[in-house]
Amino acid sequence: MGRVSRDVIARLTRWCVLLASVIGFATKLGADEAGHWSFQPLRGDAPPRVSDATWPRTDIDRFILAKLEEKKLTPARDAERATLIRRVTFDLIGLPASPAEIEAFCTDSASDDAALAKVVDRLLQSPRFGERWGRHWLDVVRYADSVGKSWNAPFTYAWRYRDYVIDSFNQDKPFDRFVTEQLAGDLLPVRSIAEEREQRIATGFLALGSISLQEGSREQSIMDRIDDQIDVTTRAFLGLTVNCARCHDHKLDPITMRDYYALAGIFSSTRLWTGQGTHTREFGSMDYVDGGLLLRLPDATSGNVSELVAGVHSMSDFQDEWRQGRRDIRYTTDPNRAMGASESEPRDCEIRLKGKPYDRDVAPPRGELRIPGLPAMRDVPATVSGRLQLALWITSREQPLTARVFVNRVWAHLFGRGIVPLVDEFGSVSEEPLHRDLLDHLARRFVAEGWSVKKLIREIMLSRVYRQSGPSSELSCHVAPRRLEWEALRDSLLLASGRLAFDRPAGIQVAGTGGKARGSSTYSLLAVNAPYRTVYLPVLRSLLPEEYSTFDFPDPHQITGQREVTTVAPQALFFMNSDFVTESARGAAARLLKDESADSPRVRLAYLRLLGREPDPDEVSDSLTLLRDLHPPASSRSPEQYRWTTLIQALMSSAEFRYVR
């Protein structure tokens, strides 16, 4: 019998660890070693040599082609230009390319490389880019406009954080800076009031958790909120489930309860501002503060700042107005309120034995993490919480996880699957990536080029791998056909109808009273058919419209790096029966009748707008036959518009509208 390979040993070890955890042993076979691949430093291997030197365009291509040649396989052919521009445009801005953009790309006499680069560069500069990629990040940080749980109180000012995220992606804010601002923006030096406001708003990241506001135990409330902050911080940035060590040492990863409570000390020394009112409830070592984070800054010195309606100064006033039935009032926003975090009295957090809030042991020093294989965190001064030191540790060049995790998330969004399949899990249960050298190559370049998200995305999209037309037998080296997310579908319907507005909704977008006695009455001030991009519609925990769940919108209670994708009957029924779709089809028909005077050009334009391609002769013929033979009901005011509405709704109901190849 030959020698067992390292890969087989690793797999057997991983299964032993999983089995041990299932039957209750607190074992950490293999995890106590710093040998797990994701904890090791980033590799710096040069791109491999390949036999077919004409195919690659980037180092990404060389890594992938080397794997294919090793298996005696060849890449798929390049996608046609019409297919490619639809893919690129949805991936970058979450909207379909216009007929003019499709024609310009398909008839561009430049080489495929140059023509594609022009499209990618144009879309990266579009303000729509931040709306698309900001939504990806909002999934990860469990963004919502209400708290959820038994008292589903509104997060009145969560939208400020949402807009901060969108703006950060549009500005191509370096990712290490983006991370630091969300954890410790209030502790960074500033050059202006506007910069101070932006950085404080960024810390809304820590205040967005779904926590019960009616928990009977004060200490339980404190520890639950801290646990939420630890969970989102370590999973979003590091891909580690550190909160598994709340009650006992992590059964799979080399993370102890001591490590967990060293982090807990940082967050127990932090005050949260949720923007829900003006009163304060003292929760012992951590204050739960309802007032807005910015009640303490000077007024803005420039620009137009909207004001609250006279007499409305807090959520209590909003509640009074709504209870009195004054639902005609459209409230604007107080410029001095936002969600976020600030420093509280610095103190270490005592270990809670078995996670019980009152059963305590000695408190480890704040930030004193001892995770084998990862760099040590710098000492936390006695006078501060340690949030800034935590942010600097996470974004350190010696920290291998942060760049790996984010690069893998980007790859997953563009290819439908991560190089590491579990995008939120880089601990011991994650399998070593098939293309680890490629992952590390991209991570090293990401850091070396200033943590630029746009440069990373551009490099991947200009690769030959990204533009392939069909699946390859190697994992993660082709773009698989993907069903569009709810946001892209809804926005495409609005765009087709001519109703999509590209401005942001102004002011407060969610309100409600909540409360145990009355029950939750939190609601969105924007209807599901509002003309704004879907990213700007409020996300209310436990109160999402049915369409959201139908198309796999993530549970906003959860941290979601990659959405589930299902194909179920209600999706087709939505396109056939929804009033929203019918209204969109009617608007699209009205546009066609206005823009073209003859039926054949109208069919062509309908296909270009909805499916991103020219119809073939049979499709044109079938469409004209449908239009000719369709008999509108007697009640129809415009038989011609009825016929075109029916045809357009049929195109909207097709799988081709819902999928991008």
314 has pLDDT over 50 = no
Nearest to 642, CA basis, from 631, 651, 653 = 631
Q: pLDDT, tens digit, for every residue of 292-304?
A: 665 733 333 333 3
Compute the radius of gyration of the chain from its Cα atoms: 27
* Spatial contact of 268 and 276, defined as CB atoms under 8 Å apart: no
Q: pLDDT, tens digit, for every residue of 468-514?
A: 987 544 545 667 789 999 999 999 999 999 999 999 998 888 887 65
Token look-up 């967050």 returns 267
10 Å CB burial of residue 365 (0-12, 13-18, 19+) is: middle
| Confidence (pLDDT) at 81 | 97
Instruction: Grade residue 4 by pLDDT with cuts at 50, 70 and 90.
Output: low
When pLDDT is averaged across residues 372-380 and rounded to a whole number, the result is: 92
Name the strand (E) or helix (H) holding 340. Answer: strand 340-343
Could you tell me the two tokens for 515?
């409360």
Q: pLDDT, tens digit, for every residue of 149-206?
A: 878 888 989 999 999 999 999 999 999 999 999 999 999 998 888 899 999 999 999 9
Ranges of each domain in the chain: 138-394, 573-660
Nearest to 209, CA basis, from 276, 148, 133, 138 = 148
